[in-house]
Structures are given as structure tokens and as C-alpha cells.
Amino acid sequence: MTLNNGNLSKGFDRTIKKNNINEKINKDLYKDLFIEALEGIVFWSANGKIVQVNEAACRIFESSKDELLTKNLKDFVYPKNSNFMRIVNQLLERGSIRDELDFLMPNGQIKSLEFTAKLNSVDGYHMTIFRNVTDRHQMEKELRESELKFRKVFEEALEGMILWNEKYEVVDINQVGMSILHLPGKSLIGQSIIQIIEDFNVNKEELYHHSENVRKNGYANGVLQINVTSDRKIYIEFSAKHNVFSKLSLISFKDITEKLEMEEQLKKSDTLSVVGELAAGIAHEIRNPMTALKGFIQLLEDSIQEDHSMYFNIISSELKRIDSIINEFLILAKPQAVKFIRKNIIEIMKETVEFLNAQAVLHNVQIQTYFEKELPLIFCEPNQMKKVFINLIKNAIEVMPKGGIITVLMESASDQSIHISIRDEGAGIPSDKIKKLGQPFFTTKEKGTGLGLMVTYKIIEEHKGSIVVESELGVGSVFHIYLPC
Ligand code: ADP
Ligand code: MG
């Protein structure tokens, strides 16, 4: 029968079969999709009563299928939610809606669910598809918090920090960084980090060396000297790391100028006090035999034969030199009759310049002075101050064998102190030697003692003042003294 029927109405039968298959496929497909979907699918009737749910919906609503089928969607809406009525109204108005709402699960858990709702989607039933976004929200919250945390660390750090991308463009710089680099209010974002560093007049070779390290090894650290303004150099200690996070690189740095200066000062005063103690012991011991030697050599002067007079001259000039070394030592050794008084320091300088003028003229050197009127009096030991000025002006004369101008300036400085500067037009002092100034026996002169500046530093230190040396090769040097009023 079937066969016959089949034979008779072959064509018709085929179409019916094909339709059936399509229908079946569609049915199966929807069924599969419904069952397997990761999103929770809920069908509900007009008043919100749940009529069909899938597995995922059971998981989301923390209930069994049977339980769910006895419930109403409204049962799950978090009571404190004011959005619910608005959403219902919109759904009725438009027929469909996509939104997000907090739901209360039977176990007391509150879940944030994203959903799409559609009226009359199948057989007159309404459908809502739910997705749990609690985790996503939690993750977003954590991400925001962690970003905030890092931003805080970045901004509140004690060190300056700059972030840059693979095109070497600055992505961010913190406040500390801006103030270390003396760049208030300037925006560096988007500028080339290399250009910025180069603009600070950094030693090109060192910079190249460090950037090669970053490129090859992924990191570099060290100390760089930078010119933050035309007249201010600072030392920064830095550490740079390539690709710290998603193609961003980081450099962190701090200003260690003061620290270095303090270390230098400490080293100097350490040696000074040791030398001072030694000097106390030795100088006196040498002085006595020296006096005898000087006396007897003078006695011998007349009886020296012509051909030995050269030796005699050498002996007496060397004796003089020993004498001057001992004298300088003795200043260190004994804070002898130190009598601090209030004194017009310009007078001391005038006397000194007068005293040294003869020597200056001999070397074709002119001493020009600029004194501010009515400088406050300084509490000082006048003889020692004179010693300081003599040492500095003598050095200035000695550094200009072909003559030149020494400029002496005395003025009041901003912070209740007096500024004295002695400028020469000599050869200048290489930067590595500037550190050595004031160290005992550091001299570059054939007949130098290397004690003059040591004494000078010591005296200024005792007066609670400071010395700053500025020098440019081939141009000259300036010794700045700052004394508190
Ligand atoms: P001395 O004059 O006996 O060498 P100082 O302590 O006075 O000893 O000076 C130490 C060294 O500092 C000098 O030998 C010189 O190299 C350097 N120096 C001091 N003053 C100057 C200056 N005005 N210009 C260049 N170099 C200087
Ligand atoms: Mg000297």
C-alpha cells in the first residue's frame, strides 16, 4: 500500500517528506539551541508565570527546573530595584527590551543579570534570555580599583616616573618627575623621551651607552648629570626598564645632588679633621729645628763661597717653603687666638687686595672690586677671613701667568647671607678635579702645597658658610663664598 501510494504520488510525497525533514531539523536545532545555550532562556505567560526554562536558566537562578516552573519572574526581582516598573512599561510599549537588573536568588545571592526580553515570541508565550554579568561587573570593578591603585602609586611615589611607548613617546609622567625636572605645568605627553633627555644637555656618550643597554638587556641604571636650567646642574639616579607592561617602558629617577654633595662634604671634613690632628702634633715638632736651621744658615751667608751660592739660594728658598707649609698647617692645628667679632667684611677685603696688589701687578694682573654699599656686618674672625681671601686671590693670580683680570664681588644674598665671589680668567678646572679642591695636598703646581684651599674650606666651614666653585675650561673659574649674616 505504502509502496503503491508511494509510486502513485511520487512527486507530492517527496515534497511532504522534505518539509517534514526541514521541520524536524528546525525543531531539533531549536531544541538543541534551547538546551545547550549558555544563556538562560525562560518562557513565561502573560502575568510573568514561568512556563519553560533551559539548563542554563536553572544554573543562573540557582533552582531546579521543577522549582522554576512553579515560580513567577517577579519572584526573582530584587525588591529594592526601582528600575523594574520602568523596564516592564518599556517592554509593553516596544514589544522587546534589552537591559540589566539585579535579581535575588532563592539562596539569598544577588546577581546582576543582563537580559533580552521579547513579547509573544513563541506560541503566544514571552521569552527572556538571561546572562549573568556579576562576574564581569566584579572584574570590571577590580580592574578599575587596580588601575586606581597603580595610578595612586604612580602619582604618590617618592621618585619621578615617566612611561613611554614603543615609539619613544611619553605616555605619562608623575608630579614628582615634573618637579625634579623643573618642568612645572608643561605637558610632555606625546613628546619624544629621547629629545627631552637630550634637551637637558646630558653627556651624549653616556646617554647612548644607557639606551643601548635598555635596547639590548631590557634595562639600564646609573647616574646622569642634567642641566635643569641654564645655571643649575643636578645629578639624577635612574633606573629604566624596557617593556614593563603592554609595550610601555618605565624610567624612575630621583635627584641625588644633595646626597652627593653631603657625601663629598663629609669626606672632606673627615680628612680635614684627621689632618688637623696630625698637624697639631707635627708642626710644632718641625718648627723648632726649623728655627735653628734658619738661624744658622743666615750666619753662614757671608762665609759662603761664590761657586756655592746657588746651593745656598736653593736651601734658603726651600726652607722658606717648608716654613710656609708649616704655617698653613698650624692654622689647622690651633684654633689659636680665634676671636670672632662683628666686622665690616669689605674692609678686610680691601686690606687684602691692597696687600696683594704688588704681586698682581708683577704678573700683569688687575684686581677689580665691586662692593655693595652698606653690607651687613659679619660675625667672623678677621685674620682667618683675610687668610681665605689671600688664598683665593693668590690662586687666581697664579692661574693667569699671562695676566688678566680678577673680579671681586661682595653683595648681600637673598637668604640673610653675604655672597662673595672671586672670578679669574685662568685655564679653568676640569670637572673631575673640582671634587678634589680642598683635599689636602691636592695641587697641580710644581711648587704648590695643596693646602691653601684646604685651609680656606676649613675656615669657611667654621664660619658656617659654604663655598661653591664654578669653572669653565679656557674661560676661567669663580669661587663663590656664602657667609651667614
Ligand atoms: P696650591 O695653590 O698650593 O696648589 P691650593 O689648595 O691653593 O694649593 O689649590 C689647589 C689646586 O687647586 C691648585 O693647584 C690648582 O690646581 C687648583 N686651583 C685652585 N684655584 C684655582 C683657580 N682659580 N683656577 C684654576 N685652578 C685652581
Ligand atoms: Mg694656593
Q: Which phi and psi angles does 414 have, rounded to 5°?
A: -60, -45
* Mean pLDDT (whole number) for 218-239: 90
The side-by-side arrangement of strands in the sheet containing 50-53 is: 50-53, 40-44, 125-132, 110-122, 96-104
**Cα four-point dihedral sign 472, 473, 476, 482:** positive
Angle in degrees, CA 230, 234, 239, rounded to 5: 130
Closest to 430 (Cα-Cα) out of 397, 468, 394, 474: 474
What is the overall mean pLDDT for the chain?
A: 86
CA of 331 to the centre of ligand 1 (A): 18
Q: Where does the pLDDT of residue 338 fall: very low under 50, low under 70, confident under 90, or very high at 90 and above?
A: low
Q: Where does the pLDDT of residue 6 fall: very low under 50, low under 70, confident under 90, or very high at 90 and above?
A: very low
CA of 158 to the centre of ligand 1 (A): 39
CA of 58 to the centre of ligand 1 (A): 91
Residue 476: pLDDT above 80?
yes
Per the CB < 8 A criterion, the answer to whether 251 and 171 are in contact is no
Grid cell of 73 as nine digits: 519572574
Residue 334: pLDDT above 60?
no
Q: What is the structure's pLDDT at 306?
A: 76
* Mean pLDDT (whole number) for 16-39: 76
Per the CB < 8 A criterion, the answer to whether 200 and 238 are in contact is no
Atom of ligand 1 nearest to the CA of 442: 10
Residue identifier of the C-alpha nearest atom 7 of ligand 1: 452
Euclidean distance between CA atoms 109 and 159, whole angstroms: 45
Per the CB < 8 A criterion, the answer to whether 83 and 102 are in contact is no
Q: What is the structure's pLDDT at 266?
A: 75
Grid cell of 294 as nine digits: 734658619
Q: What is the structure's pLDDT at 11?
A: 44
In the chain, pLDDT over 70 holds for what percent of residues? 91
Residue 400: pLDDT above 80?
yes
Please report where in the chains the cell 675656615 appears, as a residue.
459
CA of 441 to the centre of ligand 1 (A): 10
* Mean pLDDT (whole number) for 243-254: 90
Q: What is the structure's pLDDT at 298?
A: 84
pTM of the predicted protein model: 0.46
Residue 137: pLDDT above 90?
no
Residue 133: pLDDT above 50?
yes
Q: Where does the pLDDT of residue 272 fall: very low under 50, low under 70, confident under 90, or very high at 90 and above?
A: low
Q: What is the structure's pLDDT at 450?
A: 86
* Mean pLDDT (whole number) for 133-155: 89
Please report where in the chains the cell 533551559 appears, as a residue.
54
* Mean pLDDT (whole number) for 471-485: 94
Ligand 1 mutation pick, 432, 453, 472, 478, max ligand atoms within 8 A of CB:
453
Q: What is the structure's pLDDT at 319?
A: 86
Atom of ligand 1 nearest to the CA of 479: 23
Q: Which residue has the higher pLDDT, 8 or 164?
A: 164
The one-character DSSP state at 191 is S
Closest to 61 (Cα-Cα) out of 18, 103, 5, 100: 103
- Computed over its alpha carbons, how large is the radius of gyration of the chain? 45
Q: What is the structure's pLDDT at 351?
A: 87
- pLDDT tens digits, one per residue of 85-116: 889 899 999 999 999 999 999 998 888 899 99
Q: Where does the pLDDT of residue 332 fall: very low under 50, low under 70, confident under 90, or very high at 90 and above?
A: low
Report the interhelical angle of 309-333 vs 452-462 (nearest 10°).
20
Residue 49: pLDDT above 80?
yes
CA of 326 to the centre of ligand 1 (A): 18
- pLDDT tens digits, one per residue of 414-454: 878 999 999 999 999 998 899 899 888 889 988 788 888 98
Q: Which residues line ligand 1 (CB under 6 A)?
A: 391, 395-396, 399, 424, 426, 429, 437, 442-445, 448-454, 477
